[in-house]
Amino acid sequence: MPTSTDVTTAAAADDPATGLRAIRALRDLADRLEAHQVANARSRGWSWQQIAEALGVTRQAAHKKHARSRKDV
């Protein structure tokens, strides 16, 4: 499994195919980390507004992307 340093280095590669694959991997990682931290914040009682402010998006955007059940509404 490549390390984060490997993926970061690959994202800056001269070969576009290598760079673009690495960027996709970084986006996937960022999405997984975001979902994890949003769930963490919700479990600690954070409001959708607090989460949205931390992410730099609207409350509606954060809720639409991450609300998965009625308990998150």
Q: Over the stretch 18-72, which tens digit does the pLDDT of each residue have? A: 999 999 999 999 999 999 999 999 999 999 999 999 999 999 999 999 998 556 5
Number of domains into which the chain is organized: 1
Cα torsion 64, 69, 70, 72 to 10°: value is -60
Measuring CA to CA, how many Å separate 21 from each of 2, 17, 32?
Answer: 12, 6, 17
Q: Is the model's pTM score more than 0.75? A: yes
Whole domain around residue 27: which residue ranges?
Answer: 4-72
Q: Let me know: does 41 contact 50? Beta carbons within 8 Å.
A: yes
